[in-house]
Structure 1
């Protein structure tokens, strides 16, 4: 049985556009002068909403358990965002 981390790594490898979209949305948020804290879950749901209204065929499912892993990737790739994205302890491997 695969761990959540292993499933995430596979999903991320197979869908690199997810991180790109999240980074784009975060940049838009900060450029608009959004509040100090940024919820990655908000970005996740925004991405989900955009995908649902465009009704893209053959699209991947967005599993909510991956948001914490993407939050970490956003901070690693954009350390200046670290004060604005809260990272909580991972409870599942």
Structure 2
């Protein structure tokens, strides 16, 4: 019975590690700058302009660069002139819109 518990414990641990590796990771400003200088991602200013143009007059709340499944994306939160908070996700390498939804 002890061997079974130990084996199942290792399986649970391995599953936890695997699942945590699939989660998105926020990159810090130094990492973002290095990726921009290497030409891996587009300038934040360009993508912010694109996101803000979807809702003229909106105000920026937050912008984060994240990496998930090997893909870089900017997640932008803004508040529209109607007071609605929107979450916009753009592919950081191409600028393609990935998501635009109301944030709760």
TM (normalized to structure 1)? 0.30
TM (normalized to structure 2)? 0.28
Structure with the bigger percentage of helix:
1
Higher relative contact order (Cα pairs below 8 Å, separated by 6+ residues): 1
Question: For the pair shown, which has the larger CA radius of gyration, 1 or 2?
Answer: 2
